[in-house]
Homo-oligomer: A and B are copies of this chain.
Amino acid sequence: MFETEDIGLNEQPVTPRPGEKVIELLVPVDKYLSAGVHIGTHICTKFMEPFVYRVRSDGLYILDVRKIDDRLRIAGKFLARYEPAKIAVVSVRQYGKKPVSKMCQYIGCKTFTGRFLPGTFTNPSLKWYYEPDIVLLTDPRADAQALKEAAEIGLPIVSFADTDNKTDFIDLVIPGNNKGRKSLALLYWILTRQVLRERGAIPPNGDLPEQPTEFEAEV
C-alpha cells in the first residue's frame, strides 16, 4: 500500500542521528507503515519542517519515522515521571477518544474527550474544575481550548502534531499523523507501553496485554 521509499528508512534520513548506529525502533517498521503514522498532509508549517522526511510527488508531506519513534520514547520518559492522576490527556476529535481512554485505563491518567469544557483547567469555581501537572493533547488545533488553558496556567504541554499543525505553546512535540484511526491507535499504544516500561510496571521489553488494534476507534 505504501511505497517503502515513503518512510525514510531504506535510505539516509534527512538528518541522521549523529554517529548513528543501527537503532531499533519501538515497533517494526512495517507496523508503523501500515498504520500510516508517517503520512502527513498537503500543508506543512515551518514549525513541523524539522520532522518532515520528504515531500511526495503529489505534494503530500511525509514525516520521518525515526523522529516519531524518538519522540515517543522521550515523551514516555517524561510522562512516566508524573503522578498518574495528574496527567490530563485530551482529545476533542472522535478518533482519539478510544485511544485516549485506553491509555488512561492502563496508566491511570485523566481522560478529557469530546467537547472540552471552558474553564476546566482555569476556573476553580466550576464543578468539573481539574488542575493537572501536565497535559497531553492529540491535536493542538482541535484541542485549542485545552491548549489555551494549559498555557495560561503554565503547565508543561506535550502534544501530537501533524505537518499542518502550529506548535505554539507546545513544549514537547510528538510528530505523527493525528488524523487517522489506525495511526492514533498505534501512537497511543506505543506511548502507553513506553510509560509503563519507564515506570517499571512492565519489563523494558515488556508488552501490553492488548494489541494496537484494540486501541482503534470503531468506524
- A interface residues, Cβ below 8 angstroms from B: 15, 17-21, 46-47, 49-50, 70-71, 73-74, 77-78, 81-82, 144, 147-149, 151-152, 154, 156, 167-169, 171-172
Contact = CB atoms under 8 A, between A and B. Distances in A.
Oligomeric state, in copies: 2
Given A46-B46, A73-B154, A19 B171 contact: no
Contacts of A147: 18
A55 to B, nearest CB: 16
A74 B17 contact: no
B81 A148 contact: no
Given A168-B50, A171-B71, A156 B77 contact: yes
Contact of A74 (B46, B50, B81, B171): B171
A165 B163 CA distance: 22
Contacts of A171: 71, 74, 172
Contacts of A81: 81-82
Given A49-B46, A81-B81, A167-B50, A19 B156 contact: no
